[in-house]
Structure 1
Amino acid sequence: MASVSNAYLHSVLAFLNDQGISTTEIKCNIAQLSSERIAMKTYVDLLNFGAERTELSLFGFELGKHIQARDYGVLGYLVESCENLAQAIDVLGRFDALVADIGQTQLNVTDTFAHLDWQPLSTDCKQMVLRNTTAWVATVRKILGETLSPNQVTFSFALSAQEIAQLKEWFNCEVITNTNENRISFDKTLLALPFTSENKAMFQALVKLSETELLQKKLSQSELSQFIRNSNIKQQVATLLSATSNLQGCDQKRIAEALFMSARTLQRKLKAHQTSFSAMLEAERKSRIDNLLKHNTIAQTAYELGFVEQSSFTHACKKWFGITPLAYQKSLLGLTDKIAK
């Protein structure tokens, strides 16, 4: 059944809430919204409701601009750990169903250009396509730079002159409507442009994690054994924590969303493995601190480790090592100097 993940749909609810629209006002199948997977029709109904209620004819476009890695779950982390755009498109094609099993992606490469096509499974597709297309470009810009622009974007449906002008300004390229395909065309050379977050070991770990989740999605509830559902949740969390470039905002809720479960469920599963999210986050922070302090200021290190205030970092450092961050940094640099000599 065509469906989207809970995290992908709830990011729509969060956007509506930011616009002052509460869940109680939503006119679609609310009963489904607490499920792990939500039917495509419910998702389409929610997008259309959002467009009508906010009076934003390009509602999907506005959603796409605000896309976050957590909206994609594990797939978001996987894309960010790719070596380049070509690899990112490949994993999107393989694992896109984890996030939204509502269309087919195909890449066609010519001598000069690469064309990324997306064919939705619903004829009522305007807002779906707008969100998907915009989110794709927004995600790539976050990784490769905000100035990146396609050469051309095409849509299979009609848009007004005002809507086209608005899209042209953001995409910074030609926008054509009423075509045979929904397509993003860009310079072929971008496929090989390296991502700054390259991490081959992490990429392989995330691929395995995505394959496990895809298997879970394909199995029925009766077929999905408790062993598979709970398989090595501790390792999954550790993988996601390690894959995060910095730990700012990396809390239990975010990691739970990436694994398509509630924070409470994650807490319960980790407890079954004799650990907790806070303990795992602390371990990840400790594994990073030496390298960060050797190359950054104390303030920057505190930020990279996810501490909101530097005083919290100082407290943690005293707890771990019995000394202040400055004293610990000096000891690290002194050790480095001795090794260098």
Structure 2
Amino acid sequence: MSYLVSLGVNADNVSLTTQKHDSLSGSSRVDMDVYVELLNQGVALSNNSLFGFELGKHIQAKDYGVLGYLVESCENLAQAINALTRFDALVADIGTTSVFFEPDNTRVEWLPKSADCKQMVLRNTTAWVATVYKILGSACQLNAVNFTFPLDDSEKNMLAMWFNCEVVDNANTNAIIFPQHLLHIPFTSENKAMFSALVKVSEEELMASKGGDRVQFSNSQFNANRHEDISHKVVALLKANPTLKGCDQQRVANALFISPRTLQRKLKQSGTSFQQILNNERKARLNELLKHHSIADTADLLGFQEQSSFTHAFKKWYSTTPLKYQKQLLARG
């Protein structure tokens, strides 16, 4: 409503709009159907079919409350997306987010809970990207943005210009698609002490919120079945890292918003361990690294603190030394 006033919309019209809905007064939550109706009224009052898009560009951290500051205090985009998908319902429980790690790209999909979704999806998608633009700046280059609803040519051109990528309408899902390397560009606003404190506050707020258990269960694909089988989340996090340096159990547990002990217990229930998953990922990267790097550099890129530790592990895996293996590998071409 503040944004409409900033556009020069008659304050009386805005006041009449808010008075129509009892849920806007005396409550911290707005019913979803009311939220959708207000967005559609924004279209009429501003005479702009992309009202949700324009509104999303003006969203700031403070508009997300604690969640906004939690995102800005994250270490990187991977951690920020995990925070958003886990705690987004604290701001607006209006859709379900899914995150998929593809060979080269990451795809963030959003399924709204309302059939009348154009303005809601435009607002949420744009707000997500605007937040990342603010943190990563020119480093943030998207591959594509997909929408399930139709757009005319002028709308697509305007969106493509701002998102600076291909915009697809009538798609199967609403999605933001971007290169995987963006996940691990360090945020300049990193503040680990604040991050830990904000996670604690968000966890407490999530548990205290009405229907908190349901929210936790229905959040994102990234966190789905987290209590049943967390191993594939650990695998995805490791695969998303360009190197395995610093990818220890503590760091992965932090990214999943659980303690290392809990992570260890969940992985044991899944019939594996963090070390086993880490070693599998190391072996998967081994040949390609040894073709282009020295033994010492390979050990470093695989997350070994000492080359001797790498040599010891390698002998255990393959009953030979890294040097002999590398020579055979290079000889085969």
TM-score, normalised via structure 1 length = 0.59
Output the CA distance in 1 between the equivalents of 2:139 and 2:203.
33
Query: 2:189 matched to 1:197?
Result: yes
The one-letter code of the counterpart of 1:133 is T
Residue of structure 1 equivalent to 2:294: none
Give the direction of change, closer, same or farther, for the CA distance of 1:151–1:29 in structure 2 (3 Å limit). Answer: same
Deviation for aligned residue 1:53: 1.3
Length, aligned pairs only: 208
Q: How does 1:195-234 map to 2 (within 5 A)?
A: 195-218=187-210
Deviation for aligned residue 1:202: 1.1
Q: Which has the larger radius of gyration?
A: 2
Contact in 1 for aligned 2:156/2:167 (Cα 8 Å): yes
Output the CA distance in 1 between the equivalents of 2:5 and 2:198.
31
Residue of structure 2 equivalent to 1:121: 113
Output the CA distance in 2 between the equivalents of 1:188 and 1:28.
46
The one-letter code of the counterpart of 1:26 is T
Query: 2:149 matched to 1:157?
Result: yes
- Structure 1: 5+ residue stretches without partners: 1-12, 221-341
The one-letter code of the counterpart of 1:32 is S
Q: CA offsets per residue over residues 290-315 of structure 1, 9 Å max, x none?
A: xxxxxxxxxxxxxxxxxxxxxxxxxx
Contact in 1 for aligned 2:109/2:173 (Cα 8 Å): yes
Q: 1:48 aligns with which of 19, 26, 40?
A: 40
Q: 1:25 aligns with which of 13, 16, 32?
A: 16
Contact in 2 for aligned 1:106/1:117 (Cα 8 Å): yes
Residue of structure 2 equivalent to 1:75: 67
The one-letter code of the counterpart of 2:100 is N
Q: How does 1:171-320 map to 2 (within 5 A)?
A: 171-218=163-210
Query: 2:76 matched to 1:84?
Result: yes
Residue of structure 2 equivalent to 1:16: 4
Deviation for aligned residue 1:59: 0.4
Query: 2:132 matched to 1:140?
Result: yes
Output the CA distance in 1 between the equivalents of 2:5 and 2:141.
30
Deviation for aligned residue 1:179: 0.8
The one-letter code of the counterpart of 2:4 is L
Residue of structure 2 equivalent to 1:93: 85
Deviation for aligned residue 1:148: 2.1
Contact in 2 for aligned 1:155/1:178 (Cα 8 Å): yes
Deviation for aligned residue 1:28: 6.9
Output the CA distance in 1 between the equivalents of 2:104 and 2:69.
29
Deviation for aligned residue 1:211: 1.2
The one-letter code of the counterpart of 1:203 is F
Contact in 2 for aligned 1:27/1:49 (Cα 8 Å): no
Secondary structure class of the residue paired with 1:115: strand
TM-score, normalised via structure 2 length = 0.61
The one-letter code of the counterpart of 2:176 is I
Q: Percent identity?
A: 58
Secondary structure class of the residue paired with 1:106: strand
- Structure 2: 5+ residue stretches without partners: 213-333
**RMSD across aligned positions (CA):** 1.5
Output the CA distance in 2 between the equivalents of 1:216 and 1:29.
30
Give the direction of change, closer, same or farther, for the CA distance of 1:213–1:157 in structure 2 (3 Å limit). Answer: same
Contact in 2 for aligned 1:155/1:177 (Cα 8 Å): yes
The one-letter code of the counterpart of 1:193 is I
The one-letter code of the counterpart of 2:5 is N
